[in-house]
Amino acid sequence: MESSIPAVIVSAILMVCAMVLARTGYHSFDEMGQIWKEMEARSAEQVHTRLTITNVTSSSPYVDVDVQNDGSTALADYDHMDVLVQYTTGGGAPILAWIPYTSGPPAKNTWTIQGITNDAFEPGILNPTETLRMRIWLDPSAGAGTTNRLVIATDLGVTVSTTFTG
């Protein structure tokens, strides 16, 4: 009789611990399942996103870039797009710059939208078959005759790059 009371207490503690562990495991697996679904949805959007740089013109201090949406995913979150420019200044200094988006007039070391061609459907959103004209203001500007690199990345992780002459 003396050993049965501690055995009941130990059994109760073990049952409570087993239930807590089971519940924690269930919640962890449920959370992993939700994250997996989100990853699959993001991967599907990445597969359907395709951009092409059709034209780059440089006239100091601006670089104008035409980006065509060849995929089937519309792009509208310009704040989350990354623009990276690796260039050489007129003085020969190499620069690697991340250029943020601005919705207002262009400012030094920012990029803005000059317009979207064929933008009849959902104005301001880069839909499939439309072309976005972006203007990048580099300060200091790219040197004349220098070969430079431009990389554009969407919020989905899709990138496109090209070279241009300063």
Q: 106: cis peptide before it, omega within 30°?
A: no
Chain centroid to CA 60: 27
Q: What are phi and psi of 72, to 5 degrees?
A: -120, 10
Prediction pTM value: 0.74
Contact (Cβ atoms closer than 8 angstroms) between residue 154 and residue 51: yes
Classified by CATH at the fold level, domain 51-165 comes out as Immunoglobulin-like (2.60.40)
The model's pLDDT over 64-90, given as tens digits with 9 standing for 90+, comes to 999 999 988 899 999 999 999 999 998
pLDDT by residue for the chain (166 residues), tens only, comes to 677 888 888 888 888 888 888 888 888 888 888 888 887 776 666 666 899 999 999 998 999 999 999 988 899 999 999 999 999 998 999 999 999 999 988 899 999 999 999 888 899 999 999 999 999 999 999 999 999 999 999 988 899 999 999 8
Kindly tell me the sign of the dihedral angle through the C-alpha atoms of 104, 105, 107, 113: positive
Which residue ranges make up each domain of the chain?
1-47, 51-165
